[in-house]
A and B are shown apart, each in its own frame.
Chain A
Amino acid sequence: MDTPYARQYNILVVDDSATTRAVIKRVIHLTGLPIRDIHEAADGSSALATLELLGAENPVDLIFTDLNMPGMGGAEFTRQLRTIDRYKSTPVLVISAQPDAACLHGLEPDAVQGWLSKPFTPEGVRDLIHRVVGIPEPQGDAV
């Protein structure tokens, strides 16, 4: 694919709401960032299964997750995620409609690297992804 970026990134979105997953996928695409694939999971267990399926050949570079989900929630998901060598330091961002970041209290240290507040805007998502993933500026013409 013709892109001014050095590489493309894989993202995993974990949320029990299909609508939320659709919204964040659309907003991520609107950022213009070099995204290869956006994978989806409806809870923590499905997310771990997806990561296992992707294996070492196609790892995820960034994870967005809800905290309150039926089945395995976000806190347990991030705890188990950090036991996988490949994902010990992969950035995780919490997506939430909560009015402030107090929802992150109770998570283990370094479980997540940021908090994305609803409603999402492409600018907010773009800035946050740049901050936590450190995507280098595009080579040549700006996107």
Chain B
Amino acid sequence: MNTPQRFFSGTGAPPAPIDVDHNLLVESLIQALETMAFLSADPPDDHPIPPGAGTPFRVSVSFHGPFRGMLQLDAPLALGETLATILFCGDPSDPEMAMHAEDSLSELGNVTCGLLLRKLSVLHGGHFELQVPKWAPEPASPDWNDLTAIPGTVALRVEGLPLLARVTECPTTGAF
């Protein structure tokens, strides 16, 4: 079995990234965005994330199977509002769309993780099972560049907004 390689591990450190093929992660994100909301994602470029991108909001989806892990998405709530406006066929100026922003980002994490696990099942064999998405009330870091620099992170642009994703080890305690 091709157990994913770990980049690093340490007590007290953030969950270590798991070496999942970035192409699989990007494919899963793109497929989720396109199928859910007809949104396309631009590949990462060399430009830093622009100021005013908004506070990062983190969705985490834990999974277990041939190995345990956690998919993390970092995105501004503005992306959640964009998703909600499409999914609820709403008006962008409708305050109700902001109320659905967190749930819409959670659903994006949920769908993306399911798609990723199907690809990993083919690659590694065995059965994976994902848990209910959780979101953190506070971002892991308010600085997008810090988040982008986390090993194993892939960065996409959706509607001009940043969307970061990575697969990490599951923390032994706590949700994140």
Interface set of A (CB-CB < 8 Å, partner B): 17-20, 22-23, 26, 68, 96-100, 102-103, 117-121
Contact = CB atoms under 8 A, between A and B. Distances in A.
Given A99-B114, A119-B31, A19 B129 contact: no
A119 B111 contact: yes
B32 A119 contact: yes
A102 B31 CA distance: 22
A19 B106 contact: yes
A24 to B, nearest CB: 10
Contact of B132 (A68, A102, A103, A120): A68
Contacts of B132: 68
| Residue among A18, A97, A117, A120 having the largest count of chain B Cβ atoms under 10 Å | A97
B84 A97 contact: no
B103 A18 contact: yes
B64 to A, nearest CB: 12
Contacts, number: 61
17 contacts: A17-B103, A17-B107, A19-B83, A19-B103, A19-B106, A22-B87, A22-B100, A68-B132, A96-B114, A98-B114, A98-B129, A98-B130, A99-B118, A99-B121, A100-B121, A118-B111, A118-B114
A23 B130 contact: no
A119 B129 contact: no
Nearest to B36: A119
Interface of B: 31-32, 35-36, 83-84, 87-89, 100, 103-104, 106-107, 110-111, 113-115, 117-118, 121, 127-130, 132
Contact of B107 (A19, A96, A100, A103): A19
A103 B36 CA distance: 22
Nearest first, the 6 closest Cβ-Cβ pairs linking A and B are: A97-B114, A119-B35, A99-B117, A99-B118, A19-B107, A97-B110
B119 to A, nearest CB: 9
Nearest to A102: B127
Contact of B113 (A22, A68, A97): A97
A20 B31 CA distance: 17
A22 B129 contact: no
